[in-house]
Structure 1
């Protein structure tokens, strides 16, 4: 989707303190034998701070950085998440409506796995009219009895965060040049684990364990059932990146940095080889220190690049999403200028 009139006005981030891998090993939470190979640094852990509160703090941060925008200027708010947010039968966007934006703004929860913020970005781009503004928020706190953040995904750990994007149709520090989200329904079995669809996991206390689900899929792959799915994921991702770059009017050689999900390095290295990229082109090292943040990885990483002085005006940034479904996403942003607060607040 070509999006020439969508701008990123500001990014807000709330990242809780990081618990190191060394601490997790000492407490018996993370396997010591995995430390050397997987090279992870730790996970951001929110404790008992609810995910909607993480979202609210990030949203307030985004408005503080916006140069004077008010929540009253919003036309739509989209709230993306992957994990349970609060009481069953309740939706988390209500919390932000009560404490920040009020009830006159169309507010919708978006659940499309780890690509949720990409989906929110594409939806907002299609919704906004000239003079419009949107708030996209993503938040997750995985620290619940049904999740073991240190072992749930082999080769990775899961962190908590809140992230907020303020979009406008007139001005911002970055232009959203293109965004696309696609789903491969034939890859749905990669993450389903072969467990019953009913009753839902949460209603029977079944833990979320992607490690065992992925092992089961790999076993099916070795048995000859699934090779076509993996090839489909590879070809679709490559095609998606090519289409998004073409819509943005650039080639991959013109991209300054690339942000992928905060996943295991060997999986990422394989995907990079498909595209002719290296680990140095990515934000993997930063992500390895804070964990996989659900919906927020690429946008928190973008904030980190800006805060660290690793981007300049005129640079293009490629954001790539991979989620359950199997969902694939891609966006291209062009940095127009570096906001002054990145030199002073050190928020990332």
Structure 2
């Protein structure tokens, strides 16, 4: 999907303190025998700060960096997440309306797995009219009784963060050139773990165990059509990236950096290095290994980090790739137009 006239006006990030992998090992939370192989160095841990508060803090920073936009200028608010946000029957986007934007802005929660912000970009590009502005928020705090952030996904640790993107149709420091999201319904069961859909896990107090679900799916690879599904994921992702690059009128050689989800390095290597002829150094994996998989916001927090460290310059293109439950595959291309002053002045998180 081409996205003419769609700009990233500002980014806000609230990243809580990092707990190092050495601390997690010393406390018996992370297996010492996995440190060398998986190369993880830490996870951002928010403690008891609710996810919507993380999102609110990020949103406030995005407005502070926007060069004069007001929350009351918004035409749309989309809130993306992957994990529980607050009391059952309560919606997190209303927390931002209460404390930031007011009640006259159309607001909705998007629960579309780790690709939620890519879906939000698609919706926003279609929704906004000339002169319009949207706030996209992604926030998760995984530090709950049903998640062991250090072990729930083998080779990956779960981090917490709040992320906010202000999208405008007039101007911004980066142009969204193209974004695409596709779903492979035949891969819907990849993450279901083979357990009943009802009653839902949370109502039974059943912990989130992606490691166990992945083991269960690997068994299905040996006894069914799992291999066909995995081939379909690879083929579809290659086609999706090719289409997105063509819509952005560039090739992979024109891309300065690539952002993947902050998952295990061998998954990134398989899905990135092998599929697209990249190296891990071309990606943001090393940064992600130090803060953890943040749910919906990995690629966009990594973008903020690249800007802050001078790794991107005006004219550079960045490719953002997403893999999520569904199975959902996502891709977007950004072109950096200029470097916002807050990065040059060291005004970081």
Matches within 5 A, 1:97-116: 97-116=97-116
Deviation at 1:317, TM superposition (A): 0.3
3-state secondary structure, aligned to 2:289: helix
Give the match for residue 2 of structure 1.
2
Match in the other structure for 1:46:
46
Write the distance in 1 (CA, Å) between the matches of 2:223 and 2:265: 25
Aligned pair 1:323/2:315, yes or no? no
| 1:337 alignment counterpart | 338
Q: Is the 8 A contact 2:150 2:157 kept in 1?
A: yes
* Structure 1: runs of 5 or more not aligned: none
Deviation at 1:346, TM superposition (A): 4.4
Paired positions, count: 348
Which runs of structure 2 are paired with 1:91-170 in the superposition (5 Å)? Answer: 91-170=91-170
Name 2:36's counterpart in structure 1: 36
Q: CA deviation at 1:4?
A: 1.4
Q: TM-score, normalised by structure 1?
A: 0.99
Shift of 1:219: 1.6
Displacement of 1:224 in angstroms is 4.7
Residue 226 of structure 1: CA displacement? 0.3
Unaligned runs of 5+ in 2: none
1: CA distance, partners of 2:21 / 2:345? 29
Q: Which residue of 1 aligns with 2:17?
A: 17
- SS in structure 1 of the partner of residue 129 of structure 2: coil
1:5 Cα deviation after fit: 0.7
Separation in 2, partners of 1:333, 1:180:
12
d(CA) in 2 for partners of 1:66 and 1:17?
Answer: 25
Offset of residue 347 of structure 1: 1.9
Verify the 8 A CA contact 2:56 2:96 in the aligned structure 1: yes
Task: Give the whole-Å Cα distance in 2 for the aligned partners of 1:346 and 1:146.
Answer: 36
CA distance in 2: counterparts of 1:288 and 1:309, whole angstroms = 19
* Cα offset, 1:277, TM superposition: 1.0
* CA deviation vs aligned residue, 1:52-101 (integer Å, no higher than 9, x gap): 00000000000000001001110000000000000000000000000000
Q: Residue deviations 1:12-31, cap 9 Å, x none? A: 00000000000000000000
C-alpha contact 2:342 2:348 (8 A) present in aligned 1: no
CA distance, structure 2, for counterparts of residue 82 and residue 103 of structure 1: 24
The equivalent of 1:252 in structure 2 is: 252
Q: Normalised by the size of structure 2, how large is the TM-score?
A: 0.99
Provide the residue aligned with 1:311 in structure 2.
Answer: 312
**SS of match in other structure, 1:115:** helix
Q: CA deviation at 1:222?
A: 2.9
RMSD across aligned positions (CA)? 0.7
**Partners of 2:275 and 2:130 in 1: how far apart?**
38
CA separation in 2, counterparts of 1:283 and 1:218? Answer: 27
